[in-house]
A and B are shown apart, each in its own frame.
Chain A
Amino acid sequence: MRALRWLILVAVLGAAAGWWMTRARPLPGDALAALEGDAVRGEAVFLAGGCASCHAAPETTDKRRLSGGQRFASDFGTFVAPNISPDPVQGIGSWTGAQFASALRRGVSPEGRHYYPAFPYTAYARMRDQDVVDLWAFWQTLPASDAESQPHEVGFPFSVRRGVGLWKLLYLNDGWVMQGDLDPTLERGRYLVEALAHCGECHTPRGPLGGLDTARWLQGAPNPSGKGKIPALTPDRLTWDAGEIAYYLETGFTPDYDSAGGHMVAVVENFGQLTAQDRAAVAAYVKALP
C-alpha cells in the first residue's frame, strides 16, 4: 500500500517534470526592446532566410505576399505553410516584435504553442538579434493577405504538439555545426548557411525522429516530397570550385550550364538578389566542409 503511494507520487512528479520540460519557452518580452530595426537591411535577411520560398502562395510570382498554402509532405504528415503576411486577422500583423522573435528562434507561437519544425526554427535559433529586429521592420512593409491558413494534415501521435517540446530538447540548440576559428568570410558563410538560408533542412539527412543528423552535415538526403535525392554539398561530392558555386547561386547555372530545378529555383532567386560577397561567403563555407 505504501509502495503504491510512492509509485503514484513518482509517476505524478515524473509527469509534472515532463510537462515542465516540454513547455514552450518564448523569449522574454523585452529581449530585443533596445534594438532599432532597419527595414532596408531586413530585406536582405528576408531574402537570405527564404521566407517567401515557403510562405508565398503556391506558384505565384508575387514573392512578397506571404499568404501561405504551399504543401510540404513528410514522413510525419503534410504541413501547410500558414499565412504570415502582416494581415492583423489572418496573418501575423498583430504580433509584437518579441513574439516574432520567439517564433523564429524558439519555435513558439504567441499563444505559447510549439510550432512543428517544418518551420526551420532550429536554424533561425542562430539568428543575430539585430537581424531579427531588421527583419521585423521589413515585415511591416510587406503587403497583407486575408487568405485563411489551412490546417496541417498530421495524424496521431504527431498531432500532439506537446511532443514537439520533447523533440526540441533533442534538436533545438543555437550552437554552430562548423567549429573552429573562422575568418570573417567563412563566418559570414556559416551564418548564411546554418542560420538564415537553412540549407541543412534539405541537404542533411534526418534521423528516425526527423531531427537533422549533424554528423552527416550537408551530405545529401532523400527528397522528402517525392522521387530523387537532394545532392550532397561536401567537397568529396560537389566538385565545383568556389567561383562556380557563387555563379550557380547567382544565375542558377551549373558549370556545364544545366540549370537549377525544384526548390533550388527559389533559393537562387533569393541569392541572386544578395551581394556578391554573400554568395562568395556561402561558396567558401561549402568548400570548407569536411
Chain B
Amino acid sequence: MKKTVFTLAAVAAVIGTVAVAQDYSANLKARQGQFRILALNIGILGGMAQGKIAYDAEAAQRAADSMVAVTHIDPGPLWPEGSDNMSIDGTRAMPSIWDENADFLAKWGALGEAAAGMQQVAATGQEALGPAMGKLGGACKACHDKHRAPE
C-alpha cells in the first residue's frame, strides 16, 4: 500500500513536471527567426544608408517589403505564456511581455508602422533611408528597452 502511494506520487510528480516545463523550442525558433529576418533586411538598408553597400532601389524595396511582411505575422502563437526568461532558458523575453501585453503589442505595432514608412520611401533614393532607419531603430529600441533582458 505504502509502495503504491509512493509510486503514484512519483508518477504524479513526473507528470506535473512535464506539464510545467513545456517545450517552447519551436516558438523560440520562430520568434528569434523572425527577428533574424528583420535584422538581415535592416542590414541591407542600413548598409545602403551608410554608403557601405551601393544603393539599389529594387534591392532596398525588396528588403523593406520583407520587413513589412514579417511585421504582419500574428505574434500570438509565437509568444505563449510561460516562455519568458524567468521560466525557461534560451530567451531574453522578459515577463513584462505578458504582464503588460497591451504595451508589448503596441510596440510591435509601432515596428509595423516604421517598416511601412520604410516601404514607402525605400525606392525613392539613398538619402531617404537614413530618416526611415532612425524610425525603425527607435521602434526596435523602445521594445528592447522594456521587454528584452540584457545578455
Contact partner of A251 (CB less than 8 A), chosen from B134, B146, B150, B151, is B134
Chain A interface, number of residues (Cβ within 8 angstroms): 24
CB-CB contacts below 8 Å: A233-273 with B: 247, 251-253, 256-262, 265-266, 268-269, 272
Residue of B nearest to A272 (CB): B134
A226 at interface, CB cutoff 8 A: yes
Which residues from chain A contact B150 at a C-beta distance below 8 Å?
A: 223, 227-231, 261-262
CB-CB contacts below 8 Å: A41-63 with B: 59
Q: Are B50 and A261 in contact (CB under 8 A)?
A: no
Which residues from chain B contact A230 at a C-beta distance below 8 Å?
A: 150
Contact partner of B137 (CB less than 8 A), chosen from A229, A252, A256, A266, is A252
Min distance, Cβ B52 to any Cβ of chain A, angstroms: 9
Q: Are B42 and A227 in contact (CB under 8 A)?
A: no
Residue of A nearest to B134 (CB): A251
Which residues from chain A contact B59 at a C-beta distance below 8 Å?
A: none
Interface SS majority for chain A = loop
CB-CB contacts below 8 Å: B93-151 with A: 133-134, 137-138, 140-142, 144-146, 148-151
Which residues from chain A contact B142 at a C-beta distance below 8 Å?
A: 265
Q: Are A260 and B39 in contact (CB under 8 A)?
A: no
What CA separation (Å) do A158 and B109 show in the bound complex? 45
Residue of B nearest to A230 (CB): B150
Q: Are A252 and B140 in contact (CB under 8 A)?
A: yes
Which residues from chain B contact A268 at a C-beta distance below 8 Å?
A: 141
CB-CB contacts below 8 Å: B52-67 with A: none
What CA separation (Å) do A269 and B92 show in the bound complex? 22
Q: Which residues of B are in contact with A by a Cβ distance under 8 Å?
A: 38-40, 42-43, 46, 50, 85-86, 92, 133-134, 137-138, 140-142, 144-146, 148-151
Q: Which residues of A are in contact with B by a Cβ distance under 8 Å?
A: 59, 223, 226-231, 247, 251-253, 256-262, 265-266, 268-269, 272
11 contacts between A and B (CB under 8 A): A227-B86, A228-B150, A251-B134, A252-B140, A253-B140, A256-B43, A259-B141, A261-B150, A262-B145, A265-B141, A272-B134
List of 7 A-B pairs having minimum Cβ-Cβ separation, nearest first: A261-B144, A259-B140, A228-B150, A265-B145, A257-B39, A257-B43, A265-B141
